[in-house]
């Protein structure tokens, strides 16, 4: 994205809410993937007026590159306070890139039961897929150099913003 500003996370969040509102019901299970996906899900949940509690997943143990990456020091607990079996689920992440995080999330999710349907919501789709995974709800698609990482940050006021960083090897 040389010469272009980074996407405005707050505007993308508003667009995502409008996309999702007609497609989800009050019993839809919303599951944020740690960490950025949880931040997005925390904002989506009240805006969509969902009746189920917000759920979170940490896919660290389910990553296919776990041995190479090792255990991160900030591993969080997955918490799913509702029944997965037969429920409409929306997984939420901040940036969709290779698809490996979503594959890991699906592996963990199915350990809890078999949902009726699983859809994906993400603020940014940056292409570069290594697996056949697509978001049903997405704020924007952007092209970013493969050596860069588009990271979501959250300010003290709760506002979300993107920063561009060098991608870890």
Which residues of the chain are under the pLDDT cut of 70?
Answer: 1-4, 63-75, 169
Q: Is residue 57 part of a domain?
A: yes
Q: Is residue 51 part of a domain?
A: yes
Please count the helices (runs of H) and the strands (runs of E) in the chain. Answer: 4, 7
- Strand-pairing partners, residue 118, are 89
pLDDT in tens, 45-92: 999 999 999 999 999 877 655 444 444 556 678 999 999 999 999 999
Q: Is residue 3 part of a domain?
A: no
Question: In a 3-state reduction of DSSP, which class is residue 12?
Answer: helix
The answer to whether residues 167 and 148 touch, using CB atoms and an 8 Å cutoff, is yes
CATH number of the domain where residue 123 is located = 3.40.50.2020
Q: Is residue 73 part of a domain?
A: yes
Q: Is residue 69 part of a domain?
A: yes
Q: Is residue 4 part of a domain?
A: no
Q: Is residue 44 part of a domain?
A: yes
Structure tokens at 39: 């931040």
Residue located via tokens 């989800």: 24
Nearest in space to 118 (alpha carbons), one of 143, 145, 85: 85
Q: Is residue 2 part of a domain?
A: no
pTM over 0.85? The answer is yes
| Residue 76 confidence (pLDDT) | 75
For the chain, how many structural domains are there in total? 1
CB count within 10 Å of CB 109 equals 24
Q: Using CA atoms, how far apart are residues 34 and 11, in angstroms rounded to an integer?
A: 21
Structure tokens at 152: 């979501």
Query: Which residues constitute the domain of residue 17?
Result: 9-166
């Amino acid at each position: 994205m040389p010469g272009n500003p980074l996407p405005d996370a707050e505007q993308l969040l508003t667009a995502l809410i409008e996309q999702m509102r007609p497609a989800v019901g009050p019993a839809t299970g919303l599951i944020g993937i740690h960490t950025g996906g949880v931040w997005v899900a925390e904002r989506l949940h009240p805006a969509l007026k969902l009746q189920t509690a917000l759920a979170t997943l940490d896919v660290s143990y389910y990553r296919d590159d776990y041995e190479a990456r090792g255990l991160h020091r900030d591993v969080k607990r997955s918490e799913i306070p509702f029944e997965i079996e037969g429920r409409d689920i929306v997984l939420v992440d901040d940036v969709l890139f290779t698809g490996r995080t979503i594959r890991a999330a699906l592996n963990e999710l199915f350990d809890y039961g078999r949902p009726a349907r699983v859809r994906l919501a993400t603020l940014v789709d940056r292409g570069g897929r290594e697996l056949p995974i697509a978001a049903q709800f997405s704020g924007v698609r952007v092209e970013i150099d493969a050596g860069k990482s588009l990271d979501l940050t959250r300010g003290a006021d709760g506002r979300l913003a993107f920063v561009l960083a060098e991608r870890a090897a």
